[in-house]
């Protein structure tokens, strides 16, 4: 049975990916995650024989080398990353260390491993998961970003991800390294950390706390349900061309304020307010000062991945319903 390394497997996307793989029962999974504040520590049964977790920082090259030699992976899916833009503005150090140096260490370890194990040289793949934010603010006139558009990152977070993408690309070109780079839009769904927009809106609503909206809330993002992203990643492990980059998205361009209003409307129906002060959850919306360098719009052209027969299957209405019901249940436990 083949072994898959998932870095950052206790994060939002990583935990959904691992759960998906465990249900299929076709591979052994090694989760390499140092368990930060944003980790989902309770998403997997620890007694599953196909699953191992190692609490290791990907900056620790010696321990990463040891895991390669011990478990001999066929595939690495690199999801380990610091991702919250606000945090990157306040304290960028962690983003440089994890997103750049951590990825560099994984590339070094992977190259050493396949150079010393000829059996795996033609069987090994490295899937590097990145973001649409590396393309920067595309404004309201451009249609969408394609894979070979220039990178124009505007936050410490997106700059660190752009840097890691460039490292992977350099390994591909210099060493013929068997890697694929993916760039995805905003994910949402169950088990996402409360600092992100959608869970923050739901949780603050249910607790009758202010729902903070930067500036006028007209910033546009392309939203994809996390299970669709997971399916896309695994599709690329089978059908993606090594050395290529692929955009992953669901063509759900929605402004932040419209996402918030939609959630409030659905909560008004699903879980009506019992608070006399707030007849509608939308009464909690509070506009706050915009953050520095706030990009107005991201959007991805996904025609390339669609040519190899992948497409999203979860409509935003369906995905947001599932997400809201998950957090209603969670807050009432």
Evaluate whether 34 touches 10 at the Cβ level (below 8 Å): no
Q: Residues 33, 133, 165, 227: which is the catalytic one?
A: 133
Bridge partners (DSSP) of residue 221 are 254
Give me the half-sphere count of Cα atoms (radius 13 Å) on the Cβ side of residue 66. Answer: 9
- Distance CA(45)–CA(145), nearest Å, equals 39
- Centre a 10 Å sphere on the Cβ of residue 70 and count the other Cβ atoms it contains: 12
Evaluate whether 114 touches 120 at the Cβ level (below 8 Å): yes
Distance of CA 132 to the CA centre of its chain: 10
Angle of CA points 55, 60, 63, to nearest 5°: 70
- Distance CA(205)–CA(201), nearest Å, equals 6
- Distance CA(100)–CA(133), nearest Å, equals 16
- Distance CA(132)–CA(136), nearest Å, equals 8
Evaluate whether 209 touches 284 at the Cβ level (below 8 Å): yes
What was the pLDDT predicted at 126?
A: 98
Query: pLDDT band for position 32 (50/70/90)?
Result: very high
What was the pLDDT predicted at 122?
A: 85
Q: Is 214 a catalytic residue?
A: no
Q: Is 157 a catalytic residue?
A: yes
The two tokens of residue 96 are: 């440089």
The two tokens of residue 110 are: 């992977």
Q: Residues 51, 113, 157, 281: which is the catalytic one?
A: 157
- Percentage of the chain beyond pLDDT 70 is 98
- Percentage of the chain beyond pLDDT 90 is 91
132 vs 330, higher pLDDT: 132
What was the pLDDT predicted at 141?
A: 83
The two tokens of residue 82 are: 């610091």
First to last CA, the chain: 38
**pLDDT of residue 104 exceeding 80:** yes
Give me the half-sphere count of Cα atoms (radius 13 Å) on the Cβ side of residue 189. Answer: 21
- Distance CA(328)–CA(333), nearest Å, equals 9
- Distance CA(303)–CA(310), nearest Å, equals 10
Name the architecture of domain 3-189+223-250+298-313: 3-Layer(aba) Sandwich (3.40)
Q: Rg of the Cα trace of the chain?
A: 20
Q: Is 137 a catalytic residue?
A: no
Give me the half-sphere count of Cα atoms (radius 13 Å) on the Cβ side of residue 121. Answer: 8
Which residues lie closer than 8 Å to 50 by C-beta, 6 or more apart? 1, 22, 25, 27, 28, 29
- Distance CA(314)–CA(305), nearest Å, equals 17
- Distance CA(282)–CA(249), nearest Å, equals 28
- Distance CA(123)–CA(146), nearest Å, equals 29
pLDDT in tens, 69-103: 999 999 999 999 999 999 999 999 999 999 999 99
pLDDT (mean) for 244-263: 98
pLDDT in tens, 289-314: 999 999 999 999 999 999 999 999 99
pLDDT (mean) for 237-249: 98
**pLDDT of residue 41 exceeding 80:** no
Cα four-point dihedral sign 236, 240, 243, 246:
negative
pLDDT (mean) for 213-221: 97
**pTM listed for this prediction:** 0.96
Q: Residues 33, 132, 137, 147: which is the catalytic one?
A: 132
What was the pLDDT predicted at 39?
A: 85
Query: pLDDT band for position 333 (50/70/90)?
Result: confident
What was the pLDDT predicted at 249?
A: 98
What average pLDDT does the structure give for the chain? 95
pLDDT (mean) for 161-174: 98
Evaluate whether 48 touches 19 at the Cβ level (below 8 Å): no
* CA torsion, ordered 237, 30, 33, 147, to nearest 10 deg: -10
């Amino acid at each position: 049975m083949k072994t898959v390394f998932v870095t950052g497997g206790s994060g939002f996307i990583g935990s959904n990916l691992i759960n998906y793989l465990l249900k299929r029962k076709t591979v052994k999974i090694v989760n390499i995650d140092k368990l930060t504040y944003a980790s989902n520590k309770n998403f997997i049964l620890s007694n599953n024989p196909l699953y191992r977790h190692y609490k290791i920082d990907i900056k620790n090259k010696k321990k990463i080398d040891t895991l390669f030699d011990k478990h001999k992976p066929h595939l690495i899916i690199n999801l380990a990353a610091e991702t919250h833009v606000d945090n990157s503005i306040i304290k960028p150090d962690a983003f440089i260390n994890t997103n750049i140096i951590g990825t560099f260490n994984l590339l070094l370890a992977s190259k050493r491993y396949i150079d010393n194990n000829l059996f795996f040289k033609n069987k090994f793949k490295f899937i590097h998961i990145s973001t649409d934010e590396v393309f920067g603010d595309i404004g309201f006139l451009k249609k969408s970003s394609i894979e070979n558009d220039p990178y124009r990152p505007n936050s410490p977070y997106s700059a660190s991800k752009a840097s890691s993408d460039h490292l992977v690309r350099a390994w591909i070109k210099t060493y013929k390294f068997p890697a694929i780079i993916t760039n995805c839009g905003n994910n949402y769904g169950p088990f996402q950390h409360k600092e992100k927009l959608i869970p923050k809106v739901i949780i603050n609503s249910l607790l009758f706390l202010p729902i903070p909206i930067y500036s006028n809330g007209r910033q546009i993002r392309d939203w994809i349900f996390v299970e669709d992203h997971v399916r896309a990643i695994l599709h690329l492990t089978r059908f993606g061309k090594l050395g290529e980059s692929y955009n992953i998205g669901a063509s759900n361009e929605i402004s932040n304020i419209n996402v918030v209003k939609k959630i409030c409307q659905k909560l008004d129906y699903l879980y009506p307010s019992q608070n006399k002060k707030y007849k509608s959850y939308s009464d909690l919306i509070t506009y706050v000062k915009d953050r520095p360098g706030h990009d107005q719009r991201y959007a991805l052209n996904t025609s390339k991945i669609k040519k190899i027969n992948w497409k999203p299957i979860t409509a935003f209405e369906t995905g947001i319903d599932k997400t809201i019901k998950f957090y209603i249940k969670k807050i009432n436990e």
